[in-house]
Chains A and B, each alone.
Chain A
Amino acid sequence: MATKILAGVDIGNSSTEVAIAKVVDEKANFLSEHLVKTTGIKGTVDNVKGIGMALREAAKKADIQILDIDIIRLNDAVPVIGDLAMDLISETIITESSMIGHNPDTPGGAGLGVGITVLVDQMFDAAVRGLDYIVVIPKPFDYEWAAHWINKAEKDGISITGAIVQKDDGVLIHNRLHKPIPIVDEVSLIEKVPLGKMAAIEVALPGHVIRTLSNPYGLSTVFQLNPEQTKQIALVAKALVGNRSAVVIRTPQGEVVERKIEAGRIKLAGTNNKQLEVSINDGAGEIMRTYDNLGDLLDVKGETGTNVGGMFNGLRHDLAELTGQSPNEIKISDFLAVDAIIPTSISGSMAGELSMESGVALASMVKTNKVPVQKVAALLEQELGVRVEIGGIEAEMAILGSLTTPGTRKPIVILDMGGGSTDAAMMNETGKITSSHLAGAGDMVTMLINSELALGDKELAERIKKNPLGKVMSLFHMQLEDGTILFSETPFPPHTFGKVVIREESGLTPLTIKASMDKIRDIRRSAKRRVFVTNVLRALKRVVPTGNLKHLSFVVMVGGSALDFEIPQMLTEELGKYGIVAGFANIRGTEGPRNAVATGLVLSSVKEEVLK
């Protein structure tokens, strides 16, 4: 039997992997492997560039020429393409500016003050003895002067119970007053503060949060409201919960409304003409329950003219262009909805207040009849001058590859967690394979981290996802996520001093966002849990013949997300509840959870030849 050199190429949503093996007498001897970022969308001709790059690198490692390769085997890139979208479902609007509830780093003083708003330089003209006042201090007034002025007024018998300041001067003014009052500073749009109106101001001690203004009945006591008015102002109280300082000004017409944005409804079409409808506003839990009730999904349609409609239509359109089909022929085969919290600035606010609005993130997947893998193969063959074959089904290949993990045998269940999709496949003793492909994986986690931390930087979100954090306490020690302290022989770089950093192998990257290390860690872990735990359970249920997870005993995890430093542990813990032993693969005993499909592609051809 002649010696042949085979290359397996696996095009994934986010990475392209290759494995090169020398096959002698039906025995595959793996020479090298390589991984690059997938160029273009999976399954399109744009991929050829990335494949070429990966093959060249792998060939170099194996010390051969590309032309030495006899056959390149391409995965039959499962014609599934995923897309992600996220939309707000609630929004807070202040129609008449009536509250300032923000967290300046350093408000002055502490306590509650109630009084009538008055400009600092009009105090002496406007003030009536016997009434309480809250002074408003815009930017042009220096803190020293303002404090001096307030002291003078106090001496004159004008009662001042609080101050609202535009600059970051709260502590400075407070330190210079004879009689301490609560002061809220950094109110950027101070000119919007109505004058001559009743206002209440509250500042809590460092480390505490306000208690009176964030309580509807506290507000009703302060402003002497009747039950009707209390109901109206409850939203103000809600928006102030958790702040260290706040101002509420009572304007007769003022009200805060929480508006539900019509995010739209989605129509799920199932087998047997079954149709179910669910509103995006009901949240991810309800959407997924509806999907569960439906069973097999044939297509999803979003209501036209709404956010979700736009999202699904955009997806259809993109894929139609890609495959040369008409948009009507494209069917959405799976989707995953996850609740998200999106920091959004309140419209009509005075100090750039943010409110945490709820939203829904959607990952969806499309099966098309013709995905141009053939075109990819043809182009690749033309460019490299090597014969290209399209190999078997991805799930089958992944199982073949996974079986090279020491200690595994049939029957086997694998979980392939990549960037775009979470797949599960099961092979029974006789070699029969069932598989499932679900939308939502690593890329969705990145999207959630990106928006919940308001980073606006996907690259950075990706790095937060992949690496643990630390907080540099001094140049020589750092606190790690679990609370332990790491001491360093060499000083950390000065630009990381005092910062929360991403601990990558290549070094430390300081984060410029204000969130604490614990907060970032919580968001990262919850994003992973929301996407992967939900999806893994969904995927496994579909491949177990009985539909009961308790009937499984071993699961092998492969794919890029199995390399994550915490996802496998999370899943091991979760699957442990069902009595399943889960662990990540070690392809060929050396590759870890990577390269399963590429390895499987090479091995499958060997097997085929054996069968002949």
Chain B
Amino acid sequence: MTTAAFSIEMKLAEIGPATKGTNPREVVVAIAPAFGKEMNKTIVKVDHALVLREILSGIEEQGAVPRVIRSLRTADLAFMAHGAAKMSGSGIGIGLQSRGTTVIHQRDLDPLSNLELFPQSPLITLETYRAIGRNAAMYALGESPSPVPVVNDQMARPKYQAAAALLYLKECQSRVAEAKPVELKAEFIIKD
């Protein structure tokens, strides 16, 4: 059995200001200001293209419709995700920071609350991102998913805290004050 070697390239095209969706099957993914742009890898050097693709695949596999927006005025995970949830036709949104931290949000919740939070970015694998997309889609479709299992490592904090802070600072430099989120068209090109 030979595995074909291939790489995946991501193209994020801005197609205008993000609007409120009406499709009850949709899940909106809000990516942070620098995601796939000024920054292209997570805190553990996983390509952003793979991360976003897994989340979108997870949503599609369940039969929900993914939509991607970029948050510009804030890089704060909770507010990004809550904003996405409010724009989502189903009321379910996902927030994704460049370092990899992720949250699943619902529009009726308080911004600092959440449905599922994945705070330890160095420990999130691609399978977990797929599962996050899957669970968000299941919430959107009115099903009851079991929460995605989360790994916990006490050493992640001392080991990565400084890097995480720096990455967040870097992310914040891409913010545009007072700018509304923009709608993105995410394309993935597979190369043999």
Residues of A within 8 A of B (CB): 105-106, 119, 121, 138, 140-145, 148, 168-172, 175, 471, 473-476, 491, 494-495, 497-500, 510, 512, 514
Contacts and interface: CB of A to CB of B under 8 A. Distances in A.
Interface in B58-98: 60-63, 91
A105 B6 contact: no
Contacts of A491: 108-109
B188 A106 contact: no
Contacts of A144: 8, 188, 190
Contacts of A148: 190
Contact of B6 (A106, A145, A475, A495): A145
7 contacts: A138-B1, A144-B188, A148-B190, A494-B114, A494-B115, A498-B138, A498-B144
A194 B63 CA distance: 30
B178 interface: no
A140 B138 contact: no
Given A121-B4, A140-B3, A168-B134, A494 B57 contact: no
Interface string B131-149: 0001000110011111100
Contacts of B143: 498
A175 B60 contact: yes
B2 interface: yes
Interface in B8-64: 8, 57, 60-63
Contacts of A143: 57
B113 A494 contact: yes
B190 A494 contact: no
Interface in B102-139: 106, 108-109, 113-115, 130, 134, 138-139
A191 to B, nearest CB: 10
A315 to B, nearest CB: 37
Contacts of A138: 1
Contacts of B91: 474
Contacts of B142: 473, 498
Nearest to A148: B190
Which of A169, A170, A473, A475 has the most C-beta atoms of chain B within 10 angstroms of its own C-beta? A475
B145 A141 contact: no
Nearest to A142: B6
A497 B61 contact: no
A572 B2 CA distance: 68
Nearest to B127: A167
B114 A106 contact: no
Contacts of A172: 57, 60-61
Given A119-B1, A499-B144, A500-B144, A171 B62 contact: yes
Sort A-B residue pairs by CB-CB distance and give the 5 closest, nearest first.
A475-B108, A140-B3, A499-B144, A512-B146, A171-B61
A148 B147 CA distance: 33
Contacts of A473: 142
A497 B91 CA distance: 12
Contacts of A474: 91, 108
Contact of A498 (B57, B108, B139, B190): B139
Contacts of A497: 106, 115, 139
A140 B108 contact: no
A462 to B, nearest CB: 21
A112 B108 CA distance: 43
Contacts of B62: 105-106, 171
A168 B61 contact: yes
B3 A106 contact: no
Given A106-B61, A171-B63, A500-B144, A494 B4 contact: no
A144 to B, nearest CB: 5
Given A138-B1, A475-B108, A494-B109, A171 B6 contact: no
A497 B146 CA distance: 11
Nearest to B6: A145
A169 B61 contact: yes
A141 B3 contact: yes
A475 B109 contact: yes
A121 B1 contact: yes
A145 B190 contact: yes
B1 A494 contact: no
Interface in B153-169: none
Nearest to A499: B144
A473 B3 CA distance: 43
Nearest to A119: B1
A179 B63 CA distance: 19
Given A106-B63, A140-B3, A498-B142, 8 more contacts: A168-B134, A171-B60, A475-B108, A475-B109, A494-B115, A497-B139, A498-B138, A498-B139
B83 to A, nearest CB: 17
A172 B66 CA distance: 13
Contacts of A168: 61, 130, 134
A152 to B, nearest CB: 11
B88 to A, nearest CB: 13
Which of A106, A144, A494, A500 has the most C-beta atoms of chain B within 10 angstroms of its own C-beta? A494
A144 B190 CA distance: 8
A145 B4 contact: yes
A119 B109 CA distance: 47
B134 A475 contact: no
Contacts of B109: 475, 491, 494
Nearest to A516: B144
A145 B134 CA distance: 21
A151 to B, nearest CB: 12
B134 to A, nearest CB: 7
Contacts of B145: 498
Contacts of B113: 494
A478 B4 CA distance: 48
A345 B142 CA distance: 28
A125 to B, nearest CB: 12
A393 B1 CA distance: 76
Contacts of B60: 171-172, 175
A566 B142 CA distance: 29
A170 B60 CA distance: 10
A140 B6 CA distance: 12
A106 B138 CA distance: 11
A186 to B, nearest CB: 10
Nearest to B130: A168
A121 B8 CA distance: 19
Nearest to B2: A121
Contacts of B139: 497-498
A494 B3 CA distance: 42
A172 B137 CA distance: 14
Which of B60, B108, B144 has the most C-beta atoms of chain A within 10 angstroms of its own C-beta? B144
A309 B61 CA distance: 50
A141 B3 CA distance: 6
Contacts of B1: 119, 121, 138, 140
Nearest to B139: A498
B144 A170 contact: no
A476 B107 CA distance: 12
